[in-house]
Amino acid sequence: MKFTREQLEEIALNENEYHLIIDRLDREPNNVELGMFGALWSEHCGYKHSKPLLKNFPSDGPHVLVKPGEENAGVVDIGDGLAVVFKIESHNHPSAIEPFQGAATGVGGIIRDILAMGARPIALLNALRFGTLDKPENKHLMKGVVEGISWYGNCIGIPNVGGEIGFSSSYNHNPLVNAMCVGLVEKKNLLSSSVGQDGNVLLLVGADTGRDGIHGASGLASRSFVNDKEMRPAVQVGNPFLEKLLVESCLEAAHHGTVEGLQDLGAAGLTSAAIEAAQNSGGGIDIDLSCIHQREKDMTPYDIMLSESQERMLIAVKKGCEDRIGAIFDRWEVPYADIGRVTNKNTARITYGANLVTEISIDALTNAPTYRLKGNINPKVVELRQYPLNDLPLHEAGPSEILIRLLSSPNITSKQSVYRQYDTQVQTNTVVGPGSDAAIIRLRDSDKGIALCTDGNSRYCYLDPYQGGAIAVSEACRNISCVGANPLAITDCLNFGNPEKPEIYYEMEECVKGMADACQSLGIPVVSGNVSLYNETQGNDIYPTPVVGALGLLEDFAQHATAGFVREGDAVVLIGQSEISGNCASLGASEFLETMFGIVGGHPKIDLELEAKVQKLCRTGVKDGIISSAHDCSDGGLAVALAECCIVNSHGFVSTCDINGRWDAALFGESQSRIIVSLNPSVLEIFSQLAATLNVPICKLGTVGGSRLTFKNLIDLPINKLQHSWESGLSNHANSQ
């Protein structure tokens, strides 16, 4: 064998795959070819273990213009000749090594995916997971990640409008950094990630090419961390100021009418951008690497082809128009180079001046092998599901003290100390920003708005990946429905451990099934996404963490609801339950159970038929002007959701309902498909009739009023105390010694 096992491992190829490469080429590959195969057949680019599973996702819908896998991002039609382009991606492994640049370049990369479609980026969101804050290294990772996201997004001038942050010991040493970007484009200006026709000119635009990021896709994102091997050279370095110029110049060029394709240089750099764009066109490419502007001396063809230097785009321009397009980049002072031509062959011909580097089949490079494994449930999880919740003693702290502690727990407490580092108002279109059920962005020169959120609960997915996957989709869409928007589509980032372990593959398979079934029940297509596997450090896998980014449409952005109670005397109603019952099963997988007892156990469940009806009732109530406020009842259960409704606008609440069963389950259980709404008492009967028509159970909880949250004889707390606990919790944990 020409290459050693160690060399193959460095680029995440196994011996069987190496022999498959030899069969396809009918010869041994050279060094550059092997590097290209390693990149394109990596888990990050080739989706070897996930592609067979992802076929289960529904991707059709009346609004869908571009499906997953067809382009850099998904596209949905929102009417009036406009389309929204959106996608979420991970930058987990780079952020574990170098949190600031890892997170910053994750933001830069997802922005370029949206730009590649010809869309202007208008919003950023993120979903972050960290280890427990009692460990200094997790505090360091969180600080660096947040600063990296803030630095890049603020410098480039795109508002960061939403997201979520979770904490668990399963993320120790392996944080998750999932970045989502949303763009707006006129449908007629949509671009393709292709090279177009024979004779088109290929321009490489943007930053000089350096050695940063080599093996980022194959070596860093497609294998586990098994030791403390120094891998910082595989982490890219970002320049948001250049990216801003790149965005503006590329958008101007895209509207020139002579650009036939635009592709981001992200994971696997020029190899992925050029080869995949050629595949999308059914043609070939002829590239001279000596023409590429280089940042470092003595770079080899291997370095250039595998570099993941940031802020670079590949543009296919009609023959004879390259000088006019080049003039645009000259005016913006963005470097560019004419690096080659499009051919009508299914071949990538790569040279360095007069020297031939490779002439290789596009199909051989892009058709990565896929694996359908057999998964097995972890016996430990089976045992945890069966935890005897009925035998759980009532906690001695009592309901009021428990509520205070939950409000200050890292997973529930306000993330304002993070959000305030982001510019949420730049571009002046943010109607509702971070911290709400969903963000709302208005569309200029229109009454329309779009609602955006990210969601996912890894504890649910660990205990039952099918139910957890279904809940992730449902809760993301529920948050969109809470503001009154109609969910149109989702994007997802599937974060898992080592898929070669049967129990991890089982988690993947079941999560995807649950997500797919929830999408079918709610009528929501998946239009884009990313898979991040091998999230494992020294043999310890993360919790299965599917993150869902949801997009909704408001025909009138002014007609929306937020979480906070708005008027004294309003009736407060729970949608999704006819009574407040203390069923111990609802404590399964709850924040209460882990925070107060240190137990991760029980069996989360969701009724998807009820979920669809609950969301429809909420949307209808907001659209008809019946509902004044709406808030999803999720982590921490009913009591926490009520407290959050009170805190937002400093309105109190007085309960009038009774509890059946145990108070801990009634107040802190996490039964799904529930939304707390407030409304004028004069329309309560109308709302009740609407609920009956849609066959949705509801329960009147009480009334907005006063300066305290009171729930029968169980909870009686001033709003300012609840607010202090909720607002200071994250800072207290982050600053503790």
DSSP result, 263-285: EE--TTHHHHHHHHHHHHHT-EE
CA atoms within 13 A on the CB side of 594: 22
Candidates 3.30.830.10, 3.40.50.1100, 3.90.650.10, 3.10.290.10; CATH matching 377-412+561-737: 3.90.650.10
Q: Indicate whether 562 pLDDT > 60.
A: yes
Residue 503 pLDDT more than 80? Answer: yes
Q: In angstroms, rounded to a whole number, what is the distance separating the alpha carbons of residues 731 and 737? A: 12
User: Domain 51-190+414-560 maps to which CATH number in 2.40.50.100, 3.40.50.620, 3.30.1330.10, 1.10.1020.10?
Assistant: 3.30.1330.10
Q: What is the DSSP letter of 443?
A: P
Average pLDDT for 587-595: 97
SS (H, E, C) 12-47: CCCHHHHHHHHHHHCCCCCHHHHHHHHHHCCHHHHC
pLDDT at 381: 97
The 8-class DSSP code of residue 433 comes to: -
Matching residue, tokens 């069969």: 23
Residues with a catalytic annotation lie at 44, 91
CA–CA separation, 269 vs 112, rounded Å?
Answer: 13
Which tens digit of pLDDT belongs to each residue from 541-552?
999 999 999 999
CA dihedral 244, 247, 248, 254 (to 10 degrees): 170
The pLDDT tens digits of the residues spanning 668-722 come to 999 999 999 999 999 999 999 999 999 999 999 999 999 999 998 999 999 999 9
For the segment 31-71, what is each residue's pLDDT rounded down to a tens digit?
Answer: 999 999 999 999 888 999 999 999 999 999 999 999 898 88
**Could you give the CA distance from residue 307 to residue 274 in angstroms, rounded to a whole number?**
13
Q: Is 409 helix (H, G, I), strand (E, B) or coil?
A: coil
Q: What is the dihedral of CA 377, 381, 386, 389, to 10 degrees?
A: -150
Q: What is the pLDDT of residue 227?
A: 47
Assess contact for 150 and 106: CB atoms under 8 A. no
Backbone phi, psi, residue 315, to 5°: -120, 130
Cβ-contact 122, 247 below 8 angstroms: no
Instruction: State how far the Cα of 418 lies from the Cα of 421, in Å rounded to an integer.
Output: 6
Q: Which residues contact 443 (CB under 8 A, 6 or more apart)?
A: 78, 82, 184, 429, 449, 450, 557
Residues of the chain with CATH 3.90.650.10: 1-41+192-368, 377-412+561-737
The b/e string for 79-96 (b: 16+ C-beta within 10 A; e otherwise) is: eeeebbbbbbbbbbbbbb
What is residue 225's DSSP assignment? B
**Interval 447-468: pLDDT, tens:** 999 999 999 999 999 999 999 9
pLDDT score of 297: 92
**Per-residue DSSP letters for 603-616?**
-----HHHHHHHHH
Nearest to 56 by CA among 509, 376, 462, 505: 509
Q: Does domain 1-41+192-368 have CATH number 3.40.190.10?
A: no
CA 46 to chain centroid: 19
Q: What is the Cα gyration radius of the chain?
A: 26
**Distance of alpha carbon 383 from alpha carbon 389, whole angstroms:** 13
pLDDT tens digits, residue range 217-240?
A: 655 555 565 444 444 455 788 999
> Average pLDDT over the chain, rounded to whole?
95
**CB-side neighbour CA atoms (13 Å) of 244:** 11
How large is the average pLDDT for residues 348-364?
Answer: 96
Instruction: Supply the pLDDT for residue 214.
Output: 85
Q: pTM score, two decimals?
A: 0.96
Give the Cα separation of 407 and 400 in Å (integer): 11
Q: Comparing C-alpha atoms, which of 671, 636, 639 is closest to residue 653?
A: 639
Which pLDDT score, from 0 to 100, does residue 1 have? 64
Long-range residue pairs from 11-15, CB within 8 A, at least 24 positions apart, any chain: 11/35, 11/37, 11/38, 11/39, 11/42, 11/215, 11/218, 11/219, 12/38, 12/42, 12/43, 12/218, 12/219, 12/222, 12/223, 13/37, 13/38, 13/41, 13/218
pLDDT at position 5 is 85
- Report the pLDDT averaged over residues 145-153: 98
39, 306 Cβ separation under 8 angstroms: yes
Model confidence over 463-472: pLDDT tens digits? 999 999 999 9
Cβ atoms of 124 and 162 within 8 Å: the answer is: no
582 Cβ neighbours under 8 A, 6+ residues apart:
659, 660, 661, 662, 663, 664, 665, 666, 669
SS3 string, 52-73, reads HHHCCCCCCCCCEEECCCCCCC
For residue 530, which amino acid is it? N
